[in-house]
Amino acid sequence: MEQGEQGDHWTSVSNNKNLGVTAHYISDAWELKSFVLTLLKTEERHFAEACKEQFLSVARKWDIEGKTTTIGTDSARNMVAAIRLTRYEHMNCVAHTLQRSVTVSLADSSFVNVLVKARKVVGHFKHSPANAAELQAQEVSLGKKQEPLIQDVPTRWNLTLEMVKRLSSNKEAVIAALDNQEHKLVLPTAAEWDKLQRLETLLEPCRYVTELLGGEAYVSCSVVLPSLCHLCLKMEACDEDPAYVVRFKTKFKEDLASHQKQLNNAWLQIATVLDPRFKDLKCLPRTDREEPGRQATLDLRSHTVASPLPRPAPPSMPLFRAQTATAQRVPVGQQFQKKLRKKTKKTTGK
């Protein structure tokens, strides 16, 4: 049984270095299965050679060196270099790449100042129970749902969008609550509130694609290229866009395109062509659509020769119905068409 691994290094709040490795495989019943192989504290610095040995030691411990085909990590240089030192294929975490492009585009945009104001307003209510209670009272008086504001965190995906959505939906309650308090906050202007609305529109497709790629109940490899194509279309500038929106879209597309070149595009193309939803490969240029199908055919033939797939069990219901006791079997669809033609002749007299 072939399988893939996913690994990630991170540093805890107590400044300890950790490694987590998860195995992913498809069972004989064609169900995607995942389980954690290890979660351990590491002492070495995260150089490529050390990372490689850590992955290989986990594979040896579980006796899956010969069964593993792919290792997925983020796009950190040490992780990419570590997998290159092995014989396995490397698959970048595309959701991680996407969120990095969002962060880079926001940092180089005109949304920075309004986001600073938004964070200060949210912090005013998040850090004081009394202020939070006042906001809830205003929400009740305005007939709105009682819900706390959300503070974004740089390492948590999509939280900037959630902060903007929650703040915008409670704009009237926030302003009313602040009118009853003494504070030194500088509220967003009318133009800046409009900016937040536009930012919400820009980030919503990114949230959708991130959650789609992060699904755990299905294989997401085949949706990577169509999703990136979808994002590029969403980020096309139009005549109605103000200059700061055009700047964000341009920066986002440039950064995402530069990192898309570093993906394992050959494998992603094969996965896409094998998915019936995207087998026409409209997400690729016309000149690049033939090669993935040809390569997928070769790979399937070689795999079938090396390890033939089990034959499916016979159907529980017969696919054909006998026309007479001695006549040859005719597909049910053809019988229905014959009956339909007979009825049509009787009705029309032709």
Task: Please tell me the predicted confidence (pLDDT) of residue 229.
Answer: 94
Q: What is the pLDDT of residues 192-223, one digit of tens each?
A: 999 999 999 999 999 999 999 988 888 888 99
Task: Please tell me the predicted confidence (pLDDT) of residue 329.
Answer: 45
* Residue percentage of the chain with pLDDT more than 70: 85
Q: What is the pLDDT of residues 322-344, one digit of tens each?
A: 333 333 444 444 554 554 455 44
Q: What is the band of 307 on the pLDDT scale with cuts at 50, 70, 90?
A: low
User: 330 in the Ramachandran plot: left (φ > 0), alpha (ψ -120 to 50) or beta?
Assistant: beta
User: 314 in the Ramachandran plot: left (φ > 0), alpha (ψ -120 to 50) or beta?
Assistant: beta
Give the start-to-end residue ranges of the domains of the chain.
3-92, 94-263
Overall pTM > 0.95: no
Q: What is the pLDDT of residues 124-171, one digit of tens each?
A: 999 999 999 999 999 999 999 999 999 998 888 899 999 999 999 999
40 Cβ partners below 8 Å, 6+ apart?
18, 19
* Residue percentage of the chain with pLDDT more than 90: 43
| Residue 312 pLDDT exceeds 90 | no
**Rounded to whole angstroms, how far apart are CA atoms 115 and 120?**
9
3-state secondary structure 152-189: CCCCCCCHHHHHHHHHHHCHHHHHHHHHCCCCCCCCCC
Average pLDDT over residues 7-17: 75
Task: Please tell me the predicted confidence (pLDDT) of residue 326.
Answer: 38
Give the number of other Cβ atoms within 10 Å of residue 347's Cβ: 8
